[in-house]
Amino acid sequence: MLSLADRITVVRERIAAAARRAGRDPGDVRLVGVTKTHPPDLVRAALNAGLTDFGENRVQEGEAKISALAAERGSMTWHLIGHLQTNKARRAAALFDVIHSVDDLRVAEALSRGRAGSNPGAVRTRIEGRGPDPQDSVAEPLPILLQVNVSGEMTKEGFDLAVWEAQPGRFDGFCSEVERILSLPHLRVCGLMTIAPWGDVPEGARPAFRSTRRLRDQLARRFPGASWHDLSMGMTDDFEVAIEEGATIVRVGRAIFGERH
């Protein structure tokens, strides 16, 4: 049996090899360890083994682990990678460092309000009834990714961009939502996230990853003022293919922490 530290090393080596195959710098791929269903002690062990980025797919489960590891909070980056509902957005904005799963304008609006509300300066301004003071605008905008569904798989998650390359109307409709999200004051859009359709072989995920990268490139042309650097794509079964197609963030659970029960 490999130790946790060994499994992290093996995943890092596979990431580096995939990056080199694609002529990319391995340092440009960030590894997020997905800890859903696993206890805080295992998360701490991974932190001690050198992992710094952690992904949870539920706000409540994430909150429990983030509080259990409050003493280590400063050396961890917490990513919310699962579907987010509007009524949990405020909480999520206060807890997490990066939200990968924004797939709705209303959720984005709630996150922006939540980030503003978690800014002590903003709260003080409201209470004292003063106008906004530039000195109070200390909260960094919350980094987010827009989750897209390019495969047309039957799931409610992700902006529906199946067949976007064949139907320009689909892309234009998405762009008008993107424009409104980009205008939200307390968010910073960093790129796209996608989940490949379920399949038997890693190669099966390639078309979805490639389509997501092309979509990102189109958005960068349409909205050159925003950053579209990040592509969060690839999990245990397909992260190497995702890196070959340009992933800058991979979300890996089972290859590090073992099967979930």
Ligand X SMILES: *Cc1c(COP(=O)(O)O)cnc(C)c1O
- Residue 52 neighbours by CB distance under 10 Å: 13
192 with 144: CB under 8 angstroms? no
Closest CB 236 distance from ligand X, rounded Å: 3
Q: Which of 31, 51, 76, 81 binds ligand X (CB under 6 A)?
A: 81
Question: Which of 63, 65, 78, 82 forms a contact with ligand X (CB under 6 A)?
Answer: 82
Tokens at 28, concatenated: 């440009």
Cβ neighbours for 106, distance < 8 A, ≥ 6 positions apart? 86
Closer residue to ligand X (CB): 150 or 235? 235
List the structure tokens of 25: 């710098």
- If one asks whether residue 112 binds ligand X (CB under 6 A), the answer comes out as no
Number of residues that bind ligand X (CB under 6 A): 13
Question: How many Cα neighbours within 13 Å face the side chain of 152?
Answer: 8
Binding string, residues 23-62; x marks residues near ligand X by CB under 6 A: -----------x-x--------------------x-----
Q: Which is nearer to ligand X, 35 or 112 (CB)?
A: 35
Closest CA to 171 of 162, 158, 184, 183: 162
Q: Are 146 and 232 in contact (CB under 8 A)?
A: no
Q: Find the shortest distance in angstroms from Cβ 217 to ligand X.
A: 23
Q: In whole angstroms, give the CA distance from residue 62 to residue 148.
A: 22
Instruction: Determine contact, residues 80/56, Cβ cutoff 8 Å.
Output: yes
Among residues 101 and 112, whose Cβ is nearest to ligand X?
A: 101
Told to check if 236 binds ligand X by CB under 6 A, we report yes
Cα 261 off chain centre by? 24
Site for ligand X in 239-258 (CB under 6 A): 251-254
77: contact with ligand X by CB under 6 A? no
Taking the least distance from each CB to ligand X, the nearer of 171 and 194 is 194
Instruction: Cite the beta strand spans of the chain per DSSP E.
Output: 30-34, 53-56, 77-80, 98-102, 142-149, 159-160, 187-193, 230-232, 249-252
Name the one range near ligand X by CB under 6 A: 42-50, 111-119, 184-192, 231-239. Answer: 231-239
Site string for ligand X, 186-225 (x = CB under 6 A): ---------x------------------------------
Quick one: tokens of 162?
């199946």
Question: Given the complex with ligand X, which of 186 and 251 has the nearer CB atom?
Answer: 251
Range 144-173, binding ligand X (CB under 6 A): none
Residues that bind ligand X (CB under 6 A): 34, 36, 57, 81-82, 195, 235-237, 251-254
